[in-house]
Amino acid sequence: MSNTRETVANAEIAFSNRRYEEALRWFQKALEETPDDIYVLTRAGSICVPLGRFEEALRYFGYAKELDPNNGDVVFNYANACFFNKDNVSAFAGYVEAEKLGCSEDVTPRLYYQLALINSMRQDAKSALIYLKKCEKVDKTGTIALSSDFISEKVKLYMFLEDYAQAEACAAQLVAAQPSELKNYMVYFGILMAHKDYDTAEKVLSDALNYAVSSPDEKITISLQQAAVLAAKSDADSSNKKMLCSAAITLLKECLGYEGITAAHTVQIIIAIAEAHLKAEEYDKAIECLLFILSKADHPSSNHNIAAAQVVLEDLSPEELEVMIYADIEMIREKIDSGALDRNLGRYTEPSFDEDYHEYRVYEDLTVTVDDTPHDDSKKDDRPSPEELINGYDLPTDDRERIYFMLLSSYMGKEEFKEARKYALMLKHSENKYYSYFGRYSSALISRKATGNSSNTVQLYNESIAFFRARAFEDPTDSLASIFRARLYAESGKYEKAKEMALLLSEDDQKSVIEYIEECRKSN
């Protein structure tokens, strides 16, 4: 017995110094001497968890449970091992059993927290919140209930239940608990934006900038969100839309001069500038920004012949282009990616930069007039220009499709339907559901705007309505399919059918669709 006591003591010393492998070795030695010691089995299992040896932990805890099946703490440990091994069914059953048996004062708060997590995973938000409240009540030291993970879980659950007031209160608590953690501010910011409290959202970003930002990447993140607030305000205040969008662009262009800016940062900033121009209905400026990115960003391994591809694609009729996209979508992706579908590419003028890397010609609002003040060459900024940063940058698919979506919207705004149709066809094949739906919907709408109620238009509308109808049958929760279907009915003059679909939607979506139906009725 004395040897076992010393062995366990050595294990505990190693554990206290975070020498987990050594601690486990000593506990295993103790089990050779006393294999049925529940305490040693529990400690050995507990050490396996930080080591990531979850199956081994399950064996230790499972044997302890066999030896003492009526011990709530032991049953809880076994349930935890099941949880770590991603067997949530067994874990949930074990937690429920442990709750019935009763656990020690130290284990009970952990039990309630784990039950909350399991219910959250099962999307039973109300039950999860009940267990979180139980945890708060019994967690006398606040070790769990005041942790950022615990509060974040509450925020997530209240957001799921659309209880924004409680979510906001928890998010504010999260920021107060860890004022130097940027992610907490972003959670709070997201909630405020969800219920359009833009003034408080701006203040939260300002606080984040003062107390939590520690890197250029984080500073750029905040600036992009500040611009997003201005853009959102412009949607809510049409009389000041131009001014707010202009303020967003000014803020974003300042980001291009930040220390440590990367190609990815630069792309995101220019896309955000394009979005602000698009909101302000400055379509040409938006298009210039987006085509600038597409003309510079590329897959390094690719060797596109843009001029040759341009001739091939422009000689195709719209129907032939559609067939070609369906037949070899990857080839068309490369041609779009390279800018081959841009008819104006041959007239594109390379940008130039002054000595302070202020850009001319590419996007007008980024132009900064050079004053007559002499420049000190000894202090010349050697940071790369936007063009140098993104030249050859491997643009992620998500960003490419976001750009195609914005180009489609811009060309639609300009009523240049031939250009718009190319991007609509491209987006139809996106793996992003919204983009693919919007591409299909836009193809039909473009045909109506370009050719009226031609036989091709009627066919496109019938095919698109059938497509969205089939999607709704496959997934009744797919509200996007119902929204686009309702819009197509309204544009076709089938107002009652459109209203019938609208009445199936959520309150906000229903209001938006009914307003659109009335617009279509008036315009026809």
Query: pLDDT by residue (tens digit) across 46-65?
Result: 899 888 898 999 999 999 99
Burial class (CB in 10 A: 0-12, 13-18, 19+), 123: exposed
Round the average pLDDT of the chain to a whole number and report it: 83
Write down the pLDDT at residue 145. Answer: 86
Whether pLDDT at 198 is above 70? yes
Write down the pLDDT at residue 430. Answer: 92
User: What long-range pairs does 510-516 form, CB within 8 A, spacing at least 24?
Assistant: 512/483, 513/483, 513/486, 513/487, 516/486, 516/487, 516/490
% of the chain at pLDDT higher than 70: 83
Whether pLDDT at 343 is above 50? no
Write down the pLDDT at residue 301. Answer: 36
Nearest-CA neighbor of 26 among 42, 43, 11? 11
Whether pLDDT at 360 is above 50? no
Write down the pLDDT at residue 466. Answer: 93
Whether pLDDT at 348 is above 50? no
Whether pLDDT at 134 is above 90? yes
Whether pLDDT at 330 is above 50? no
Range of lowest pLDDT (31-45, 98-112, 327-341, 455-469): 327-341
State the Cα–Cα distance between residues 28 and 189, nearest whole angstrom: 49
More confident residue, 18 or 92: 92
- Mean pLDDT, range 62-75, rounded to an integer: 93
Whether pLDDT at 366 is above 60? no
State the Cα–Cα distance between residues 259 and 213, nearest whole angstrom: 14
Write down the pLDDT at residue 68. Answer: 92
Q: 494, 501 in Cβ contact below 8 A?
A: no
Whether pLDDT at 369 is above 90? no
- Mean pLDDT, range 233-254, rounded to an integer: 91
Write down the pLDDT at residue 470. Answer: 93
Whether pLDDT at 303 is above 90? no
Q: How confident is the model at residue 381 (pLDDT cuts 50, 70, 90)?
A: low
Paired residues of 360 in beta bridges: 352
Write down the pLDDT at residue 311. Answer: 36
DSSP 239-304: GGHHHHHHHHHHHHHHHTT-TT--HHHHHHHHHHHHHHHHHTT-HHHHHHHHHHHHHH---TT---
State the Cα–Cα distance between residues 342 and 339, nearest whole angstrom: 5
pLDDT tens-digit readout, 439-451: 999 999 999 999 9
- Mean pLDDT, range 370-381, rounded to an integer: 45
- Mean pLDDT, range 21-34, rounded to an integer: 90
DSSP 102-139: ---TTHHHHHHHHHHHHHHHTT-HHHHHHHHHHHHHH-
Q: How many other C-beta atoms are found inside a 10 Å radius of the C-beta of residue 229?
A: 21
Write down the pLDDT at residue 319. Answer: 52
Q: How confident is the model at residue 524 (pLDDT cuts 50, 70, 90)?
A: confident
Q: How confident is the model at residue 7 (pLDDT cuts 50, 70, 90)?
A: confident
% of the chain at pLDDT higher than 90: 55
Structural Rg of the chain based on CA atoms: 30
Both structure tokens of 196: 């359009």
Q: How confident is the model at residue 298 (pLDDT cuts 50, 70, 90)?
A: low
User: What long-range pairs does 80-88 form, CB within 8 A, spacing at least 24?
Assistant: 80/49, 80/114, 81/45, 81/49, 81/54, 81/57, 82/58, 83/114, 83/118, 84/49, 84/54, 84/57, 84/58, 85/54, 85/55, 85/58, 88/118, 88/121
- Mean pLDDT, range 352-361, rounded to an integer: 34
